[in-house]
Structure 1
Amino acid sequence: MEPSELRRAVAAGRATASALGLQVDDVCVVNNSDRVALRLSPCDVLARVAPSGHMTDSRIEVEVARRLADVGAPVAELDPRVAPRVHVRDAFAVSLWTYHEPVGPEIAPADYADVLMRHHAALRRIELDAPHFTDRVAGALRAVGDRERTPELSDADREFLSGTLGGLSATISADRAGDQLLHGEPHPGNLISTRKGPLFVDLATCCRGPVEFDLAHAPEDVAQHYAGADIGLTDRCRALNWAMFSAWRWRRDDQMPDRERWRREGLDLVRAALDRCGPV
């Protein structure tokens, strides 16, 4: 968020928690992207604050967290002192979560695979209307095909991304027999090491697809420890994920920090991933 919007988001998070009877003397910005995560002290709440345009995603995240908590999934939980819902304040959607202080060393590949398998098992136990991962790919394809949305993307790179996205999506989704509900983006930034063990956060990205689509977001060594994983399929999913990542960076309104560097490196990462899994 831009500084002015960030100030309003911080104020909205603070005011929401205070109005619910939680003591807030200090606010620390934990993460700032299209939405922000705030640590509120001394009540030890993590407030997730998003512009009202993200209201649907915020509501999905809260509902997914509520259902997964009921089946013992390894996910960060909503704050039990307030109702499990999204609050609206000054055109922001605010949800309140238990704050977990990150602890310990980097999560080892075997432990990462174990927590992801447990998460997938929990996801199989809940019912949720979630889009297929190909819907996300279709959104990236629309951005690549729209010169007004991606005006600085060259013709050659536009054709390259379009062909990669379309080809890999069709190949990966050809057999949907093993599809299930997924986290959607279980990358290291969405898995925190806590005193309760590793916990997944950012639950609004749920989609359906093969478990390899999730595995492709994890460090490469993790797939070696995930029982029954198709390594070749994981490699194709990783190439697809990098192609989507690259497509988003070329949007005119993309706000990712250091976007210019990622525009250059993103395309190189797509090509490197394709070299590993062969032609589309």
Structure 2
Amino acid sequence: MELLQLRRAAEAGRATAVELGLPVDEVIVIHDSDRVALRLLPCDVLARVAPLGQLADSVWEVEVARRLADVDAPVAELDPRVEPRVQVRDGFAVSLWTYYEPLGSDIAPADYADAFQRHHAALRGIGLEAPHFTDRVATALSQVTDREKSPELSDPDRELLSDTLTALSAAIAADESGEQLLHGEPHPGNLLNTIKGPLFIDLVTCCRGPVEFDLAHAPQDVAQHYPGADHDLVHRCRALNWAMFSAWRWRQDDQMPDRAHWRSQGLEEVRTALDRCGPG
């Protein structure tokens, strides 16, 4: 967020918690992008604050989290001291979550895969309707095909992303037999290593598709520990995921930190992932 908007978002998070009876003397910015994550002290709450245009996404995330908590999924939970709902304040959507102190160690591939298995089992049990992963691909593709939305993307790179998004989305979606509810973006930044074990966060990306779509977001060794994973499909999903990531980075209004680096790195990752897919 721009500095002024970030200050307003931080104040909206602080004021929301105080109004709900939680003491706040300090606000620490944990993550700053199109949405902001704030640690509020001394109540030790994680506030997720989004522009009001993302209200529907915030409401959806809270509903997913509420249902998953009921089936003991390995996910971060909403703060139990307040009503599990999104609050609207000063043009922002605010949700309050339990804060988990992250452990310093990396999550071992086998533990990552175990968290996936438990999470996917829980997702199969909550009976929630969700968008298909191809809907997200179509949104990413629209950023690439509209030159006004991605004016700095070169023609060769635009063609690379457009062809990759179109072809791989169709190929992966052709077999619907193994589809289920997914996390949607379970990369290492969205799996916390805590004293309670690995916990998934950022549930707004929940969608339907093959489990390999989720596995492709994790480090490459993780899929080796997931029973029944189709490793060729994981490679295709990884290329598709990098193409979507790159499409977002080339948006004119993208706010990801160090965007210039990730624009270049994302395109390189797409080419590398496509090479792993092999001919066709």
TM over 0.5: yes
Going from structure 1 to structure 2, the CA distance change for 1:158 and 1:104 (only over 3 Å counts) comes to closer
Give 1:260 deviation, angstroms.
1.4
1:49 aligns to what?
Answer: 49
2:37 alignment partner, SS class: strand
2:148 aligns to what?
Answer: 148
Rounded to whole Å, the distance in 2 between the matches of 1:220 and 1:203 is: 22
2:181 alignment partner, SS class: strand
Alignment of 1:127 onto 2:136: no
Equivalent residue letter for 2:185? E
Percent identity over the alignment is 75
Alignment of 1:233 onto 2:233: yes
**Structure 2 counterparts to residues 239-278 of structure 1, below 5 A:** 239-278=239-278
1:30 aligns to what?
Answer: 30
1:193 alignment partner, SS class: strand
1:48 alignment partner, SS class: strand
2:232 alignment partner, SS class: helix
2:213 aligns to what?
Answer: 213
Query: Is the 8 Å Cα contact of residues 145 and 158 (structure 1) preserved in structure 2?
Result: yes
Query: Is the 8 Å Cα contact of residues 182 and 206 (structure 1) preserved in structure 2?
Result: yes
Rounded to whole Å, the distance in 2 between the matches of 1:266 and 1:77 is: 31
Query: Is the 8 Å Cα contact of residues 104 and 194 (structure 1) preserved in structure 2?
Result: no
Rounded to whole Å, the distance in 1 between the matches of 2:198 and 2:28 is: 22
Going from structure 1 to structure 2, the CA distance change for 1:279 and 1:164 (only over 3 Å counts) comes to farther
Give 1:104 deviation, angstroms.
4.5
Query: Is the 8 Å Cα contact of residues 65 and 78 (structure 1) preserved in structure 2?
Result: yes
Equivalent residue letter for 2:174? A
Query: Is the 8 Å Cα contact of residues 47 and 96 (structure 1) preserved in structure 2?
Result: yes
Give 1:155 deviation, angstroms.
1.5
Going from structure 1 to structure 2, the CA distance change for 1:279 and 1:162 (only over 3 Å counts) comes to farther
Rounded to whole Å, the distance in 2 between the matches of 1:272 and 1:79 is: 41
Going from structure 1 to structure 2, the CA distance change for 1:264 and 1:104 (only over 3 Å counts) comes to closer
2:194 aligns to what?
Answer: 194
Rounded to whole Å, the distance in 2 between the matches of 1:248 and 1:44 is: 32
**Structure 2 counterparts to residues 165-180 of structure 1, below 5 A:** 165-180=165-180
2:157 alignment partner, SS class: helix
Alignment of 1:203 onto 2:203: yes
Structure 1 portions without partners, runs of 5+: none
Larger mean Cα displacement after TM superposition, 208-217 or 270-279: 270-279
Equivalent residue letter for 2:158? R
**Structure 2 counterparts to residues 9-88 of structure 1, below 5 A:** 9-88=9-88
Rounded to whole Å, the distance in 1 between the matches of 2:35 and 2:19 is: 21
1:97 alignment partner, SS class: strand
Rounded to whole Å, the distance in 1 between the matches of 2:263 and 2:104 is: 33
1:21 alignment partner, SS class: coil
Give the TM-score of the pair, scaled to structure 2. 0.98
1:7 aligns to what?
Answer: 7
Structure 2 portions without partners, runs of 5+: none
Rounded to whole Å, the distance in 2 between the matches of 1:264 and 1:106 is: 26
Rounded to whole Å, the distance in 2 between the matches of 1:250 and 1:28 is: 29
Give 1:279 deviation, angstroms.
3.9
Rounded to whole Å, the distance in 1 between the matches of 2:42 and 2:265 is: 41
